[in-house]
Structures are given as structure tokens and as C-alpha cells.
Amino acid sequence: MISIATHYNPARALDYFEHDLAVGESLRPCWLGNFARMLGLEGYIPRHAESLTIFDRLARGCSPSGVALLAGVMRYAERKRRTSYDIVVSAPKSVSIVALVAEDHRILDIHQRAAQTAFEEMQLRGRISHRGVKHPTNALVAAHFVHTRSRERDPHLHSHLLSFNMTYCSDPGLYPVKALDPKRIFADSVQLDQIYKNDLAYGLRQLGHKVNVIAGSPEICCVENDQTKVFSKAHLKIDNLEQRLFGTRNNPYCRLWVNDRFRASKNHAEEKLSKDTVAEHWRSEMSPSAREALLNIVQASLLNTAQKLSPPLDCSRAVRQARLDAAKSTLFVSPKVIWKNLWPLVMGQLPWADLKALVTGAVASADPKSKPFSSFLLDLTLAQKAETFYPLLTTPAKTPSFQKNEPHTEVLEADVATDEALINEHQFEQPGFRPSI
């Protein structure tokens, strides 16, 4: 899953650096982006005071040497500006359990490469806005942090792609460094999440793990639901808070409110534990049989080579199937809707670098302007059913005066009268009507 948060305080960038836990030498924090290379920032990020100073300057819109790059950080600029965007890329829970509890650290490298692939696609969607015109930049400066725990200290493999609010534009006639316009990144966050999951599923199968795509996410087989519930304390706590405060369950607005407050109460005291100690603590929470079954999953993957896949689907055939599936639920089958139905068919078959050209060409060749005639028949059938059940929906809860087979004409006439009164009150029938101020 990919989530994006906006930061206005430069200290938030330092928070990720100070509380980072490096899992292995190859997963230390590193710089990402073409603009980072232009500024001389490449490779791993050393953990010393100079790195903290560079983070603070980038968050304030300055270069690593302290030179102001954005107009919003000049002395005469007083408005509050965005400092950075925190793009969180999370692995599925079964993948986190096998990688961290069973200590299959090969998955950590797969996760890091998949997250970097998603960042490269985000970089292609970087824009600047100049007088209402969007200009592509393809040059961001970001830092990649790999974290291994949730707020409740459960195994949770995720990456923080901390992208600073500046980008470089090479178009002549424009100021070269401007603030990032992230609207395209926000709009394509679901597709970026699927790109990450595609490379993750392909890498897991290459390691020998058996992977099933469930609800759009690659899950490792043989990891039971009971094991995932043991290590989902944060999810259960948020559910309980939502139920107690709002009386709802899985409401997106209430859950967002609870999640923001829950995130602010995070405590970093236990982040100093080594990865070996934490893994032993996690395994002690499991039953002996569940612990043995989990370790057997890793042993089986070590004995297997790359998972043998069925013959890869023809991209044109997969696009046609996705288009037919999308036409059953929507009138206009846009390319974005085709992508949504296409991912379960092609996920993990090829790495994104090879799959991108094949699938993009097949989607572009599909005709999204029309809809199969069979779907129109389906819509007509649903409309007829709606007309049949409309009188039943408008029936009062208790109507003792009505007979069993008598049509409810009184209720329908009352509804029509109410609608006509509203139309007359607001004068909707007059074409030239303008409300008075």
C-alpha cells in the first residue's frame, strides 16, 4: 500500500533520520532522484551531524551548502510552505512476517528494489506549475528509509520515500528550481502501488516462495490468518478506537481522523533494539506449531528455485479481458479503469521494466470509447428491476390502511407533490433565473 503525507515542519525530515533502524548494511538510508545527483547527493547517507544539516537545509528549500534555491525561502517570503512529502510504501503483512519474523532477509532487498522502481515512476510524474501551465521535470531529490516496525512494534516492512518540495526544470525561460506540483503523483497513487506490488511479487517468486494475488496484493501462501492477526495490534487498536469514538467500522473519514491521532502518539523508545532481539521477541509471541510452520516456509523456498509460473498471459488478451470486466460496472471504459482490472491478471508475471512497454501498448490499442452491447442489456435489466421495486422503497414502514395487493398511489402522489413544491420554491423551471444577493 502507498500513502502520501504532506509535511510543513522541517523537523519532520530530521525525525525519520534520527529514528531510523538500519536492517543490514545494504539497507542503509540512501539518496534517490535525478535532482539529488545534480546537487552531489548520491549513495548511502552517513549517520553524522553533517547529514542532519543537509536534511534541514533541503527541507527549508536550500542547497546542501545553504544557498536558497526557492523563492519561498527568501527573506521577503512570509507564507507557510510545504517542506516535504512522505511517501510510505508498505509490504503485505504475510511478506513482513516471513521477512522479519522468519528472518528471510532476501525479501528486504526485493522490497527495496521494488520501492525504488515505484519512485522512478513517481519521478516521471513530477511537475511544476507556471502561470497555469504544467511542465514535466523528471528530477526529484528524495531519501529512502527502510523501517521494520509498526507503531505497536509489530513486524511491518515499509519504506519512507521522503521527497523534498523542490524540483529542477530544464525548460528555457523558466526559473530552474521550483516547488513540486504533486497532483499527478496523488492521482496515480493506486497505480504506483500496483507497480510496487508487481515487482515485489515477481521477486518473491524468483526466490522460490509461492505467491497468490489476493485483493490486489501479493500474499505468501501458507501464512495463516491467525498468524497475521497476532502481529496486527495497530490495526485492531484503530478499529477499537473508531468503534468507541464514532460507532462506525471501516468508515474512511472516521478512520483517517483516528489514524492521524494514533500516529502522533508514536513512541520511539524501543527502536534501539537490534534486529536479532526483536525477531526472537516476535517468535516468542507465536505458538510452537505456528513457529515451526513459519520456519518451514523459508526452508522450502531455499530448496526451491524460481517458482514455476503458468505460461504468461498474452497482453492483448489480458487487456481485452480487463476491458470486458470493466464494462460490466461502468458506462465509459477509460484506460485507468482498464488498468484497475488488468493488474490481477498480469501481476508478478514480468518485472515492471519489461511489462511496462507491453501492457502500455496493449492498453493504448484498446478502444475505450464504446461498450459491448451485452452490457447495455444488463443495464436495461437493472433499470427495469429498479422500476419494479421503486414503489416498495417508497412504502411507509407501517401502512395498516393499505390492502395487500393495493397499489400505493397515495404515497407516490405525495412524493410528486413534494417535488413540484420544491421546484416552484427554487424556480428551477425558469431558464433565465439568477439568484438575488
Closest among 161, 193, 140, 166 to 16, alpha carbons compared = 161
Q: What is the b/e burial string over 306-315, where b = at least 16 CB atoms within 10 angstroms of the residue's CB?
A: ebeeeeeeeb
Q: What does 16-30 look like in DSSP terms, one character per residue?
A: HHHT----SGGGS-E
CA distance 135 to 176: 11
Q: Residue 123 class from Cβ within 10 Å (0-12 exposed, 13-18 middle, 19+ buried)?
A: buried
**What residues of the chain score a pLDDT lower than 50?**
22, 76, 268-270, 272, 368-383, 385-416, 418-419, 422-423, 425-437
Dmax over CA atoms of the chain, in Å, equals: 85
Q: How many residues does the chain have?
A: 437
> Alpha-carbon Rg of the chain, whole angstroms?
27
CA distance 133 to 349: 38
Asked whether the CA dihedral 414, 418, 421, 427 is positive or negative, the reply is negative
The predicted structure's pLDDT at residue 396: 47
CA distance 245 to 1: 26
Closest among 347, 343, 340, 341 to 325, alpha carbons compared = 341
C-beta separation of 21 from 147 below 8 A? yes
**Secondary structure (3-state) at 220:** strand
Residues 6+ apart with CB under 8 A from 173: none
C-beta separation of 230 from 224 below 8 A? no
3-state helix, strand, coil in the chain (%, to 5): 50, 15, 35
Q: What is the b/e burial string over 59-89, where b = at least 16 CB atoms within 10 angstroms of the residue's CB?
A: bbbbbbeeebbbebeeeeeeeeebbbbbbbb
**Secondary structure (3-state) at 85:** strand
C-beta separation of 324 from 372 below 8 A? yes
Q: Which of the 8 DSSP states describes residue 91?
A: -
The amino acid at residue 392 is: L
The predicted structure's pLDDT at residue 236: 82
pLDDT in tens, 118-172: 999 999 998 888 777 888 888 999 999 888 887 777 888 899 999 999 998 888 7
The amino acid at residue 129 is: S
Angle at 283 between CA 23 and CA 25, to 5 degrees: 10
Q: Where are the alpha helices (DSSP H) in 171-270?
A: 183-187, 189-207, 225-230, 233-245, 252-264
The predicted structure's pLDDT at residue 291: 79
Tell me the helices (H) and strands (E) count for the chain, helix number first.
17, 10
> What's the predicted TM-score (pTM) here?
0.76
